[in-house]
Amino acid sequence: MAESAVSFAVERIGDALLQKAIFLKGVHEQVDRMQRELKRMQCFLKDADAKQQEDERVRHWVSEIRDVAYDAEDAIDAFIFNVESGRTKFFPCRMFKKLVSSCKVGKEIEAIQIKIQDISKSRETYGINSIGEAISQAGQRLQKLRYISPLVKEEIIVGLKEDTDKLVEELVKGDERRRAVSMVGMGGIGKTTLAKKVYNDSRVMDHFRFCRAWAYVSQDCRPRDVFQNILNQIPYNPTGDEARKIEKMQEHEFGDFLHELLKEQRFLVVLDDVWESDDWERLAKAFPKESNGSRLLLTTRKNDVALQADAQSVPYEVQLLSEAESWKLFCRSAIPGNFTEICPPELKELGEKMVKKCAGLPLAIVVLGGLLSSKKQLPTMWEEVFNKLRAHFAESNGVDAILSLIANRLFYA
């Protein structure tokens, strides 16, 4: 369905922005704009989906959105060089051929942006309304917008078992007081990955089976969107009238409304990537402090945010990977289809030297692995990459440096 294709693209673009400092030099603004447009368009997709049964033009409109969402996702995938996509299944070779230079990707994004604007304009012509209007006409219940699905690809995950157990315990055991449990650590260390694992853990799913939601906050925190997203995931079925009212609610009203709904519940809400204390303050209004054993699980780069959210909970510091874990992740990322820690013997020494440069940061490892996975598994090819790394770093292990080098130089070499 077009709706989920757009949601998926919005999610991917969100991820890309997250890593913008490293990857999006030069095209950040364009990507940001593209994400906003796609997000806006999401609101209209429900109505379009309903109407496309009857109207050929609307059907066409929906398929155009779907295509553009896929294009957007492709361009972003290409640009950030995400590792999950680096595996053969998700990142076909055609993608690499497409990537001649960042300039080309920038142009591609601009073209997509123009397409999105055109499609958006044609909406009115086809009489496609926003989600609230559509519901009032159809007298239907507010259907759920697809939220960002927090699934983890288990086969690539290394470690995290102990961390998961500890965090699960924090969520399902202990005081009835509503607590905010935070995970802190630098970008790319694995906070979101760990949060997803915890969120999908059977003990957590069971304990919060009636009320569980995942919301992606990001640097560009928009509380109203976050509240809407949460509302879509919790048990609540508004009438047409109610849905219309909700549609018109401003941020604070929406927050109060969600607060009322959550008051009686034992809820778990994940707020992924909260950047600032102010953002937390705006979001916090929606979460009642009743003693129902409810939990908020935050991921953040800042200790301040964690302490602000709950001064009585000790922030959970996500650790860098150990040497053995780094190696395992590297083998899984660099060699497509490999889910072991075994690497061809002739590549082992070179691989180990390169992994060392990543200093245990999973993002650096998966980016490096993704890069190597696109090359032939020959010592000469790996040596080429290694020499470039070595020349750049001399003896240092600067993680930011490895990422920017990979993103900007090696990748396009």
Ligand X SMILES: Nc1ncnc2c1ncn2[C@@H]1O[C@H](COP(=O)(O)OP(=O)(O)O)[C@@H](O)[C@H]1O
Binding stretches for ligand X (CB under 6 A):
83-84, 156-160, 185, 187-193, 299, 329, 362-363, 366
* Distances, alpha carbon 356 to alpha carbons 191, 350, 361, in Å: 21, 10, 10
Q: How far is the CB of 375 from ligand X (least distance, A)?
A: 19
# of chain residues touching Mg ion (CB under 5 A): 2
Q: How far is the CB of 272 from ligand X (least distance, A)?
A: 7
Contact partner at residue 157 from ligand X, Mg ion, none, CB < 5 to 8 Å by partner kind:
ligand X
Contact 361, 188 (CB under 8 A): yes
Q: Quick one: which of 199, 208, 215, 185 has its CA closest to 279?
A: 215
Tell me how far apart the alpha carbons of residues 83 and 334 are, in angstroms, rounded to a whole number.
Answer: 9
Contact 78, 23 (CB under 8 A): no
Sequence-distant (6+) residues with CB within 8 A of 250 are 224
Contact partner at residue 366 from ligand X, Mg ion, none, CB < 5 to 8 Å by partner kind:
ligand X
Residue 294 gets which letter from DSSP?
Answer: -
User: Which part of the chain contacts Mg ion (CB under 5 A), choosing from 82-90, 101-109, 188-196, 306-314?
Assistant: 188-196
User: Which part of the chain contacts Mg ion (CB under 5 A), choosing from 135-143, 235-243, 272-280, 282-290?
Assistant: 272-280
192 binds Mg ion (CB under 5 A): yes
Nearer to ligand X, 277 or 319 (CB): 319
Tell me how far apart the alpha carbons of residues 109 and 104 are, in angstroms, rounded to a whole number.
Answer: 9
326 binds Mg ion (CB under 5 A): no
Secondary structure element (H or E) that encloses residue 332, with its range? helix 323-334
User: Which part of the chain contacts Mg ion (CB under 5 A), choosing from 184-192, 280-288, 333-341, 350-358?
Assistant: 184-192
Nearer to Mg ion, 187 or 398 (CB): 187
Residue 2 in tokens: 């077009």
Q: How far is the CB of 99 from Mg ion (least distance, A)?
A: 24
Residue 14 gets which letter from DSSP?
Answer: H
User: How many C-beta atoms surround the C-beta of residue 345 within 10 A?
Assistant: 7
Residue least distant from ligand X (Cβ): 190
Longest dimension (CA), the chain: 67
Tell me how far apart the alpha carbons of residues 315 and 300 are, in angstroms, rounded to a whole number.
Answer: 10
Q: How far is the CB of 155 from Mg ion (least distance, A)?
A: 20
Contact partner at residue 343 from Mg ion, ligand X, none, CB < 5 to 8 Å by partner kind:
none
Nearer to ligand X, 84 or 352 (CB): 84
Contact partner at residue 193 from Mg ion, ligand X, none, CB < 5 to 8 Å by partner kind:
ligand X
Q: How far is the CB of 270 from ligand X (least distance, A)?
A: 12
Report CA Rg, the chain.
Answer: 22
User: Which part of the chain contacts Mg ion (CB under 5 A), choosing from 4-12, 161-169, 192-200, 248-256?
Assistant: 192-200
Nearer to Mg ion, 85 or 192 (CB): 192
Place of tokens 């047409």: 240
User: Which part of the chain contacts Mg ion (CB under 5 A), choosing from 167-175, 235-243, 270-278, 375-383?
Assistant: 270-278
Nearer to ligand X, 40 or 161 (CB): 161
Query: Nearest 5°: phi and psi at 185?
Result: 160, 160
Q: How far is the CB of 339 from ligand X (least distance, A)?
A: 11
Nearer to ligand X, 72 or 399 (CB): 399
DSSP-assigned beta bridge partners for residue 316:
183
Tell me how far apart the alpha carbons of residues 318 and 299 are, in angstroms, rounded to a whole number.
Answer: 10
Place of tokens 């922005």: 17
Nearer to Mg ion, 18 or 334 (CB): 18
182 binds Mg ion (CB under 5 A): no
Nearer to ligand X, 80 or 142 (CB): 80
Contact partner at residue 410 from ligand X, Mg ion, none, CB < 5 to 8 Å by partner kind:
none
Residue 335 in tokens: 């060699």
Tell me how far apart the alpha carbons of residues 330 and 327 are, in angstroms, rounded to a whole number.
Answer: 5
DSSP, residue by residue, 41-82: HHHHHHHHHHHTTT-HHHHHHHHHHHHHHHHHHHHHHHHHT-
Nearer to Mg ion, 268 or 385 (CB): 268
Q: How far is the CB of 126 from ligand X (least distance, A)?
A: 38
Residues within the interface to Mg ion (CB under 5 A): 192, 273
